[in-house]
Chains A and B, each alone.
Chain A
Amino acid sequence: MGASAGIRRESAHLRRAVALVPLEVRALMRAEGAALKRTLQREASGVEHAPALPAAITMNSGMKPEPFYEVGPLEGGAGSLALLYYGNSHTGSVLKDPRFALLRQAEQTTAKLTQLVVRLA
């Protein structure tokens, strides 16, 4: 079986999980999003001139159009300090790139969704 066939089969399993146990999937996405939020808040803490930035990092999760969670600073106010994630060729960025945390969390989310599917099988 090729890789694309495997991905299609996995996608079909995940759609089945969403259809059969939507409440569990919704709760899972909420919990995973909250975990990512905690990680980003921890990584954003301790910056002397941006003490309010961690509190400006929010999380939203849902099921439409597909299961999702999104985490990050809200625009405006302390959230504008998201520029601390940027940087330059001399000093780099003040804050660690949030994609490390996202990738790590996404791997865990995928594993937990797969566990749900296996349980249904």
Chain B
Amino acid sequence: MTVDIQPHVEALVTALAARNLRVYESAAGQKIDGTYETPTAPYVVLYFDGGVRSGLSLADDHEEASEHDVEAWSVGKSPRSARSVQSDLLALVGTELAVPGRLVKVRHAFSDRVKADHDDPRTALWQGRDGLTLTSLKA
């Protein structure tokens, strides 16, 4: 895999931040610039994988085509709040992300309904999980 994932991460974070979402990467509170803050709901946490080579036949150079799976956890203090985050997230499906030298499109993989986070009853948070795949071709 030769495609650099970091510009894809930054483009998705930027697109979500433009919708006034609080965005974390890899853990609640972990900001993309490497700093940490105490997470305050509502927020969305993104989990990226390293990407897989794509079999997209549209690309002549398959070495340059990749797919990046992203798990997104939309979190709120109420079901409504979590759904609102989820809705803003899913509004990106079908859109293109601004990644220099790449054509990157956001595809929907799956969605889970919003449910209570029972792991820590003190926080009383609600969460929904969505799967997105970024298809990335050389521009």
Q: Which residues of A contact B (CB under 8 A)?
A: 87-93, 96-97, 99-100, 103-104, 108
- B109 contacts A100, C-beta separation under 8 Å: yes
- B127 contacts A89, C-beta separation under 8 Å: yes
Number of B residues whose C-beta is below 8 Å from A? 27
The dominant DSSP class at the B interface is strand
Q: How many A-B residue pairs have CB under 8 A?
A: 53
- A92 contacts B27, C-beta separation under 8 Å: yes
- Residues on A with C-beta less than 8 A from B73 are 87, 89, 92
Q: How many angstroms between the C-alpha atoms of A118 and B72 in the bound complex?
A: 38
Q: How many angstroms between the C-alpha atoms of A10 and B6 in the bound complex?
A: 40
Can you give 22 contacting A-B residue pairs, CB < 8 Å? A87-B73, A88-B117, A88-B120, A89-B28, A89-B73, A89-B117, A89-B119, A89-B123, A89-B126, A90-B27, A90-B28, A90-B120, A91-B27, A92-B47, A96-B47, A96-B69, A96-B71, A97-B71, A97-B110, A97-B131, A99-B131, A103-B109
